[in-house]
Amino acid sequence: MKQPTHTDPAQPDDFSTEDWRRLLTHLGENADRQGLRETPQRVEKAWKHWTSGYDQDPAEILKVFEDGAEQYNELIVVRGIPVYSHCEHHLAPFFGTATIGYTPNGKIVGLSKLTRLVDCFAKRLQVQERLTIQIADTLMEHVQPLSVGVVIRCRHMCMESRGIRTPGEETVTSALLGEMRTNLGLRNEFLMLAREKN
Ligand SMILES: Nc1nc2c(ncn2[C@@H]2O[C@H](COP(=O)(O)OP(=O)(O)OP(=O)(O)O)[C@@H](O)[C@H]2O)c(=O)[nH]1
Ligand SMILES: [Zn+2]
């Protein structure tokens, strides 16, 4: 199912590039100087990209294959998946990597779809905890594997460049579903593989 979007239909979106121009002026800049003249259009385009996940349907991304999965019920792990998101509190970037693992139950997904799934939820205004659980829940819902594990490690610019100012600090979140909750061996195998690379 498509996640709730950022647009409330009761309130038409009348935001325009003029509003980015006003922001530049508000920040004390001369919005007409050469270097800034095209900035409102650029920023508009950039934010469309950074929030493009609202228009993506995870169900469409997670096309499953039943061929090739019959014999395989071990862990499938993809590590080092890039995460580029923005925190919903400050609109500041947070970025890092994700590891996703699952044990199939007769269905597998194309490996690239795991990266697309991360991007679909990362390209929204987020908190890292929600991002982590959305990825795990969606994989569980659409692929119905025996277990799912997601570990995300990110640096948050709202903490590094302002506020508490803790450069290099890393936030780690995890979501473990299905057999990973009860099977200690499986959980440890996944967490060990997740630790090795990212
Ligand atoms: N749990 C969680 N918190 C986050 C995330 N990204 C940013 N934050 C935190 O969101 C909080 C917002 O706190 P507020 O007190 O409302 O805002 P603030 O005055 O700007 O807070 P400071 O960052 O402490 O200056 C801060 O503690 C941030 O560190 C995230 O992904 N998950
Ligand atoms: Zn923040």
What's the average model confidence in pLDDT over 107-135? 97
What's the average model confidence in pLDDT over 51-70? 90
Whether the per-residue pLDDT at 53 is higher than 80: the answer is yes
Q: N- to C-terminal Cα distance for the chain?
A: 30
Whether the per-residue pLDDT at 23 is higher than 90: the answer is yes
Q: Which atom of ligand 1 lies nearest, measured to the CA of 154?
A: 31
DSSP 181: H
Q: Output the CA 82–ligand 1 centroid distance in Å.
A: 22
Of the bound ligands, which one is closest to the alpha carbon of residue 159? 1
> Which two three-digit tokens encode residue 174?
């995890």
Please report the ipTM that was assigned to this predicted complex.
0.90
Mean pLDDT, all residues of the chain: 93
Domains in the chain (CATH in brackets) are: 17-50 (no CATH), 56-197 (3.30.1130.10)
What's the average model confidence in pLDDT over 49-67? 94
The continuous run of DSSP H or E covering 173 comes out as: strand 171-178
Active site residue 29: no
pLDDT bin (cut points 50, 70, 90) of residue 69 is confident
pLDDT bin (cut points 50, 70, 90) of residue 8 is low
The continuous run of DSSP H or E covering 176 comes out as: strand 171-178
